[in-house]
Amino acid sequence: MKRDYETLILGGGPAALQLGYYLQRDGRSYRILEANDRAGSFFAHYPRHRKMISNNKVHTGYDDPELRLRHDWNSLLTDDYSALFRDFSVEYFPPADALLSYLAHFAKKFDLQLQTNTRITRVSRQADGFTLLDQNGTSWNCRRLVVASGVSLPYVPAIPGIELSENYASMSIDATEFINQRVLIVGKGNSAFETADHLIASASVIHLVSPTPVDFAWKTHFVGDLRAVNNNFLDTYQLKSQNAVLDAETLGIRRRDDGRYAVEFRYLHAEGEVEELVYDRVLCCTGFRFDASIFDASAMPELTIHDKFPNLTCEWESTNQPDMFFIGTLMQMRDYRKTTSGFIHGFRYNVQALYRLLEYKYHATPWPSTVLPYDAQELTEKMLSRVNGSSALWQQQAFLADMFVVQADGMVQYFEAMPLDYIQQHFVNRNKHCFVLTLEFGKSADDEDPFHVQRIRRDNVARASASKFLHPALREYHQGMQSSEHHIIEDLEAVWREAEHIIPLRDYLQRVSPVSR
């Protein structure tokens, strides 16, 4: 049996449903193929301790649903804000089961073409697209393939003896099984600290180890780094309650005759000292990677970043497989460990952008835009309305951007929430005269304490470019090069409506106006 579609989406998680929403809305030929019996099946098992770390701030004080999305990290995008996660949980860190219920509701509400219990076993390239073979022998054919399968395989570091460890994916979460045991956790990400926090009351000793120090999300602004909700364990280390965080290379793990594990370390901050310690259990909590095993040689995408992710262009297309696109957490290859593309509140905007790119590429539908005169006052009002109201620019800081292109007749064409890398390649590098607007954090020294930063006085607009907190930045590009830039000074509540925000921006736009050149 053969089934033919314009687009097939491989995987039925939140990114697949987000893209499905737009395809369904516009009457496109597509099908979402999900291996398991429900949408978002990854979240039926993860996180293992069932508490999400995606913010769900229901009470924001805002009536504007777009502004509320800045603090709602789980809802998918719709044209009318009619399907929101807040109706499924009011907890700030919600249970994973609430997300499963929400995704099932979303798929049903919008009548998405979701095919469950369809496990794809092979993907191959044909002259006119791709063929996917499922476990029942059915062939699914498409002109373009969108992979939304996520990072489904545990990432296992190349440590001798690591096969003796218990992996986060399958380890027991019954804390009573660890009573009075010495436990080593390999890894220092959220899954490692989530596990350590769960075991504090039962294990006698817990050590976390990796070659690199802990990165805190409140310092790096990358929400995949250690979140405060998972860092209770650090108190037990610094206040000497038997636990420890080791910055060390794990040289090997071996099983002793008594059934315990001897683990050899080389410390990074102890003059290269090598030590062997003994544990009752070793847990491997080192994250996940992309599973490329179903792709045959004709369709195998190029991999990158320790083979954890597919290598992608600025349009999220495979670098070596034309018409094969990747969405969801796999999109983070383009901004790895920098912004929020690995998470729903980031990739929902990426998927929206990708849909617009696909519509332009395959159906000649232009990216939505407005045309305005180059008038400093009017452009100031437009840009301030965007930085004060957009959730896309807020969540995808310095990755998605608004842009206006100066036209020969003195008018400007304004585009919203476009990938910055795409702007660089398709507008800046083609010598378009354009201005690019982002929300971005200022640069900080690696050792700077984010809770002890000297802020700039709000009326000191001359130093706005030194703002450390999230703030708007506007850059002008001409003849393929950046020719000027303007920063709007940071604001405690991130509301830019005062004279110190309006007047300098208006004066800048007037000063660089192409009409006056």
In angstroms, the CA 478 to CA 453 distance is 35
pLDDT (0 to 100) of residue 3: 84
The predicted-structure confidence for 391-429, as pLDDT tens digits, reads as follows 999 999 999 999 999 998 989 999 999 999 999 999 999
**CATH match of 162-284 with 3.50.50.60:** yes
Sign, CA dihedral 367-145-332-195, equals positive
3-state SS class at 340: coil
Residue 185: count of CB within 10 angstroms of its CB: 29
Q: Which class is domain 2-152+288-363? A: alpha beta
In 254-321, which residue ranges form alpha helices assigned H by DSSP?
none
Mean pLDDT lowest among 188-202, 203-217, 292-306, 445-459: 445-459
Residue 516 has pLDDT above 70, yes or no: no
CA distances from 79 to 29, 68, 386, 417, 504 (A): 20, 15, 17, 15, 34
pLDDT (0 to 100) of residue 452: 83
Q: Residue 342 in contact with residue 396, Cβ under 8 Å?
A: no
Residue 18 has pLDDT above 80, yes or no: yes
pLDDT (0 to 100) of residue 444: 81
In angstroms, the CA 367 to CA 79 distance is 16
pLDDT > 90 in the chain, percent: 92
Residue 1 has pLDDT above 80, yes or no: no
Residue 109 has pLDDT above 90, yes or no: yes
pLDDT (0 to 100) of residue 467: 93
- Helices and strands per DSSP (H, E), number in the chain: 11, 24
Residue 243 has pLDDT above 70, yes or no: yes
pLDDT (0 to 100) of residue 325: 98
In angstroms, the CA 408 to CA 402 distance is 20
State the pTM of this model: 0.96
Domain ranges of the chain: 2-152+288-363, 162-284, 369-516
Looking at every residue in the chain, the average pLDDT score rounds to: 96
Which segments within 211-339 are labelled E, that is strand?
244-255, 261-267, 274-279, 281-284, 288-289, 303-304, 309-310, 324-326
The predicted-structure confidence for 129-141, as pLDDT tens digits, reads as follows 999 999 999 999 9
pLDDT (0 to 100) of residue 445: 77
3-state SS class at 419: strand
Q: Which amino acid is at 380?
A: T
Decide the pairing of beta strands 166-167 and 281-284.
parallel
Residues 6+ apart with CB under 8 A from 288: 150, 151, 152, 153, 154, 155, 308
305, two tokens: 């970043």
pLDDT (0 to 100) of residue 197: 96
Average the pLDDT over 424-435 and give the result.
95
pLDDT (0 to 100) of residue 443: 87
CA atoms within 13 A on the CB side of 85: 31
Q: Residue 489 in contact with residue 460, Cβ under 8 Å?
A: yes
Residue 228 has pLDDT above 60, yes or no: yes
Residue 171 has pLDDT above 80, yes or no: yes
pLDDT > 70 in the chain, percent: 99
3-state SS class at 49: coil
In angstroms, the CA 280 to CA 259 distance is 8
The predicted-structure confidence for 331-379, as pLDDT tens digits, reads as follows 999 999 999 999 999 999 999 999 999 999 999 999 999 999 999 999 9
Confidence band, pLDDT 50/70/90 cuts, at residue 167: very high
Confidence band, pLDDT 50/70/90 cuts, at residue 15: very high
The predicted-structure confidence for 247-265, as pLDDT tens digits, reads as follows 999 999 999 999 999 999 9
Q: Residue 32 in contact with residue 54, Cβ under 8 Å?
A: no
Residue 135: count of CB within 10 angstroms of its CB: 11
Domains 2-152+288-363 and 162-284 share a fold: yes
Average the pLDDT over 20-42 and give the result.
97
Q: What are phi and psi of 468, to 5 degrees?
A: -95, -30
Task: Tell me which DSSP letter residue 213 carries.
Answer: -
In angstroms, the CA 311 to CA 333 distance is 7
pLDDT (0 to 100) of residue 517: 55
